């Protein structure tokens, strides 16, 4: 089968499309014919050899990609909830092999959900990592409540576009920080207010936000403290090695108290098929959709990686592998 692989760590010069063997599913896995996959920063951090969870974790060649949508063509001996022919989508666990940027991939049953018929494979493949990051953050860690105010820093990217919609589905007041060219997009997704980061610094505001959700790591707990209300929560998706160590690799962990009333947290997404199913339900209700910046073929994976590394994508970058 064709796959996007690396045989050493580096920039996109190490990425090549080559033939590899079709993997065989383990007892708790299924084999998918991959229809679409999406790029996350973890993919090119792994390519560079600086993704803290995966460096040296598996032998070369490494097939990149963790988010995927496709059709089940074989099931492992212990699989009970899926069958051959099911259209599914999901994300590889951090400790498992990735492999989404290929014509076929194996993935754990519990990390998958049935793809709703009203959502394309490209839209479904865009959702798992970015969508679940915001879904789990807002529900489990920030514990966002109706009527609270959440600021989303980096709102026009993949994680941010889902965060706006999920926060609105909770009933929160949403403030989106983005560039001037993306303010209309954020408003159309449901943001109540937008802040142009080029002309206004939210960190200088006082006692305004119940939650600061920093999806790009451009702020910090210390810098955001002034803008948070009493009882406010700062959440980051960008892990430093120290934060990862303190978190113990759990899904969501409170890392420190900013003072007696405020806390700071790190989000580490965990693949959960049940969470994917809840997000799919939001999509079917018209409360959430995938924003796709651009689509590439498997043969053009290098160009897709270059676009992702620019940090200029509006929403997600998708690699379409099979019709």
83-108: per-residue pLDDT in tens? 999 999 999 987 667 899 999 999 99
What is the model's pLDDT at position 138? 95
DSSP 103: S
- Among 173-177, 252-256, 270-274, 297-301, which is the least confidently predicted range? 252-256
Q: Which residues contact 21 (CB under 8 A, 6 or more apart)?
A: 1
- Among 107-111, 128-132, 219-223, which is the least confidently predicted range? 219-223
What is the model's pLDDT at position 241? 44
List, in sequence order, the alpha helices (H) in the chain. Answer: 41-48, 121-126, 128-136, 158-170, 183-188, 221-224, 241-247, 273-284, 301-309
CA angle 87, 91, 96 (to 5 degrees): 120
pLDDT tops 60 at residue 57: no
- Among 34-43, 196-205, 240-249, 294-303, which is the least confidently predicted range? 240-249
Sign, CA torsion 159/269/232/282: positive
pTM above threshold 0.85: yes
pLDDT tops 60 at residue 27: yes
219-270: per-residue pLDDT in tens? 888 888 899 998 899 998 864 444 444 433 333 334 444 454 566 666 678 8
In 3-state terms the chain splits into helix, strand, coil percentages (rounded to 5) of: 30, 30, 40
- Residue ranges of domains in the chain, CATH in brackets: 2-127+290-320 (3.90.180.10), 130-267 (3.40.50.720)
Instruction: Report residue 217 as tokens.
Output: 């790591």
């Amino acid at each position: 089968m064709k796959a996007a692989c690396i045989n050493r760590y580096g920039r996109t010069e190490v990425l090549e499309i080559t033939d590899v063997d079709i993997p065989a599913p383990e007892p708790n896995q299924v084999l998918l014919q991959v229809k679409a996959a999406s790029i996350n920063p973890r993919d090119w951090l792994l390519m560079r050899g600086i993704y803290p969870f995966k460096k040296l974790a598996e032998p070369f060649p490494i097939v990149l990609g963790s988010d995927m949508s496709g059709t089940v063509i074989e099931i492992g001996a212990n699989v009970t909830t899926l069958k051959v022919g099911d259209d599914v989508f999901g994300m590889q666990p951090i400790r498992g092999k990735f492999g989404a940027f290929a014509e076929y991939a194996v993935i754990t049953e519990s990390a998958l959900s049935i793809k709703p018929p009203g959502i394309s494979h490209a839209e479904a493949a865009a959702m798992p990592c970015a969508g679940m990051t915001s879904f789990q953050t807002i529900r489990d860690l920030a514990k966002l409540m109706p009527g609270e105010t959440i600021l989303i820093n980096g709102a026009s990217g993949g994680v941010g576009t889902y965060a706006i919609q999920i926060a609105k589905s909770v009933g929160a007041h949403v403030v989106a920080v983005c560039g001037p060219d993306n303010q209309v997009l954020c408003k159309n997704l449901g943001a109540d207010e937008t802040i142009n980061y080029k002309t206004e610094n939210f960190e200088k505001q006082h006692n305004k936000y119940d939650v600061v959700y920093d999806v790009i790591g451009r702020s910090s707990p210390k810098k955001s403290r002034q803008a948070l209300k009493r009882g406010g929560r700062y959440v980051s998706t960008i892990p430093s090695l120290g934060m990862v160590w303190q978190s113990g690799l759990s899904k969501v962990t409170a890392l420190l108290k900013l003072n007696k009333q405020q806390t700071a947290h790190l989000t580490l997404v965990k693949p959960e098929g049940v969470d994917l199913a809840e997000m799919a339900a939001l999509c079917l209700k018209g409360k959430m959709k995938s924003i796709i910046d651009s689509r590439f073929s498997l043969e053009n994976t290098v160009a897709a990686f270059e676009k992702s590394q620019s940090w200029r994508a509006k929403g997600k970058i998708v690699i379409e592998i099979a019709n």
